[in-house]
Structure 1
Amino acid sequence: MNFNWKSGLTVADAMANIQSRFEAADLAYGHGMFCAADEAAHLIAHVVTGAPTVTDEMMALEIASAQRQRLQTLVEERINSRRPAAYLTGEAWFAGVRFEIDDRVIVPRSPIAELLAEGFSPWIDRQSVSSVLDLCAGSGCIAMVAAMVFESATVDAAELSADALDLAAENRNRLGLADRVQLIQSDLFSELVGKKYDLIISNPPYVPAQREMPAEYGHEPSLALYAGDDGLDLAWPILVGAIDHLTAGGWLVLEVGESVDALMRQLPDLPAMWMELEGGAEGVMMISREELLGCEQRLRELSATVAC
């Protein structure tokens, strides 16, 4: 389906037509946007105003010639390359904060953003949090927002990929958080010996290795996506490591996404709170250090099977 990028084109015109083209192209979503309309709105807003998405007030705006050309280029590239929109625009929004993004990291999309923006209230008193760890930090989005939410806390961002840490440093410096967020290259907790935190937040890889993914996901670093046959190769060591690295009364927030069923089959008595999130997202738990201690033996057994 061809679209006439004519003069006089309004945001509303572009929304309708780009959405139609994306639907006809059978694109896959899930990189912070859930459907063709979301992605059309993101691209238009990026070009026209720099906002995260289109608002009702923007619908009547006429798109200037240079903007039409830029938007046309983005739309054609999105359809032809199947690259996620965030890689084309170079930006993604997480908890209302703009992050620079490229293919050194996966596109930020964790539903943890919803909980983090509220300081994990009512379960956590944000004034009592003095230390936070973002484990498997990627672009650093969780660490940066945590530094904004927990204003008195020191924040560490631990990540295995040196390339991802380079991008995280760019985001940290652009957001003026160089004195608040420490970046650490670490394979999970390996370089964090002796460190303890009031709050550990982790969105690790959790896609089962054999799962066939849409082409869009093939543009993301596989290191940040896949985690063994059942998607839990990192979750078990994180749950065990949290016992050693949380302070008394500390909390772990862990996302395991679609691997939640596999986790609960292997450890049905895990006393975690599974969070109810907007949009039906699932697989995010909150669990205290004391609750982890109650099933420590079984957790260490499961973690040992990964090591083997």
Structure 2
Amino acid sequence: MGKAALTVGEAIAAATTRLAVKAIEQPRREARLLFDLASGHDVPWQLAHGGDTVSDNAAFAYDALVARRAAGEPMAHLSGRQGFWTLDLEVSADTLVPRGDTETLIEALLDHRPDREAAYTFLDLGTGTGCLLLAALSEYTAAFGIGADRVPEAALLAARNARTTGLGQRAAFMVSHWDAAVEEGRFDVILSNPPYIPSDDISGLMVEVAAHEPVSALDGGADGLREYRYLIPALRRLLVPGGLAVIEIGIGQHEDVARLARAADLKVLDIRADLGRIPRAVVLEAPTA
């Protein structure tokens, strides 16, 4: 005798339990999102049709997705999408999944450069999905920007995101290890979210990060500061006089990064905390002459 078909409500309840056992946060919400991915039926439909029987095809697809999520694969990798700022972006295993904490950089940028009509030139180093550059361009409607990433697949993905968000005419992307292929002295604003996790700490991160996101985008060397030691001195030659840099930092790194900035003759304008009150971004300014 075959396995009895489940109703929509039963399938979601069973998936919620499987996810909860694996300590997935908000397991019922995630179970509903996964059902939407598997069946094409959104949450309002699910609530209205909880007693309907799940088709064999949808049940098979749903079981596979729930198993992958329970094993720690990020929801964004399963859906192929992630929201950032006001944008809906494509994501892949070649890049970090954009996170809400990184939106702190855009908030800081808007505060320090309030003229939304200024024709700024932006540079996003380690662009990944392009989330920082594209969020900035969505706010500064006369600006143009370049995103650089050493991973070709990431640069291609960011370019697709620029097109699908309607920003493709004001963004360009290149394959470059940091600033290696970038001309100096051309940028009003530089944005970056460099790798900052100490190497020995990576294995202790959540499994969805440690096992499913690119190590090259996480690993900041023995103390987490390796990339800042290269990146911050490079900012001086890339920024116009008085130009701004907004850089993401890890927990407890704000003093060390500020020290590196001052040693590179950059002014520390702001150290901005995220919603969890953790210092998350440093705002730096190049000398005016």
| TM-score of the superposed pair, with normalisation by structure 2 | 0.79
Bigger shift: residues 92-101 or 278-287:
278-287
Aligned to 1:26: 23
Change (3 A) 1:122 1:147: closer
Q: How does 1:273-284 map onto structure 2 within 5 Å?
A: 273-284=270-281
Alpha-carbon displacement from aligned partner over 1:182-241 (angstroms, at most 9, x marks no partner): 101111111112342111110111111111233322222211110211111112222212
- Work out the number of aligned pairs and report it: 274
Aligned to 1:124: 113
Change (3 A) 1:59 1:280: farther
CA contact (8 A) 1:232 1:256 kept: no
Change (3 A) 1:94 1:49: farther
CA contact (8 A) 1:129 1:199 kept: no
Aligned to 1:113: 103
Change (3 A) 1:136 1:22: same
Aligned to 2:199: 209
Structure 1 position 289 matched with structure 2 position 286: yes
Change (3 A) 1:227 1:119: closer
Report the Cα offset of residue 275 of structure 1: 1.2
Report the Cα offset of residue 127 of structure 1: 2.5
CA contact (8 A) 2:94 2:154 kept: yes
Structure 1 position 74 matched with structure 2 position 71: no
Change (3 A) 1:268 1:58: farther
Aligned to 1:256: 249
Equivalent position to 2:157, from 143, 163, 167: 167
Identity %: 24
Report the Cα offset of residue 142 of structure 1: 1.6
Structure 1 position 245 matched with structure 2 position 258: no
Q: How does 1:1-308 map onto structure 2 within 5 Å?
A: 6-9=6-9, 14=12, 18-27=15-24, 36=27, 39-40=30-31, 42-43=33-34, 46=37, 60-62=47-49, 65=54, 70-80=61-71, 82-109=72-99, 111-116=101-106, 120-125=109-114, 126-211=116-201, 212=203, 213-216=205-208, 217-258=210-251, 260=253, 263=256, 271-290=268-287
Q: Secondary structure at the match of 2:123?
A: strand
Change (3 A) 1:152 1:5: farther
Bigger shift: residues 187-196 or 278-287:
278-287
Distance 2:149 2:132 in 1: 12
Q: Which residue identity does 1:79 align to in structure 2?
A: A
Alpha-carbon displacement from aligned partner over 1:64-103 (angstroms, at most 9, x marks no partner): 73566544332122113x2112111111111132111121
Change (3 A) 1:246 1:281: same
Distance 1:238 1:25 in 2: 38
Alpha-carbon displacement from aligned partner over 1:106-155 (angstroms, at most 9, x marks no partner): 21115232552x57333212223521111100111222222211110011
CA contact (8 A) 2:104 2:273 kept: no
Report the Cα offset of residue 277 of structure 1: 2.2
Change (3 A) 1:138 1:119: same
Alpha-carbon displacement from aligned partner over 1:220-269 (angstroms, at most 9, x marks no partner): 22111102111111122222122221223321110112351672696597
Report the Cα offset of residue 23 of structure 1: 2.8
CA contact (8 A) 1:92 1:98 kept: yes
Distance 1:207 1:226 in 2: 5
- Indicate the RMSD between aligned Cα atoms, in angstroms: 3.3
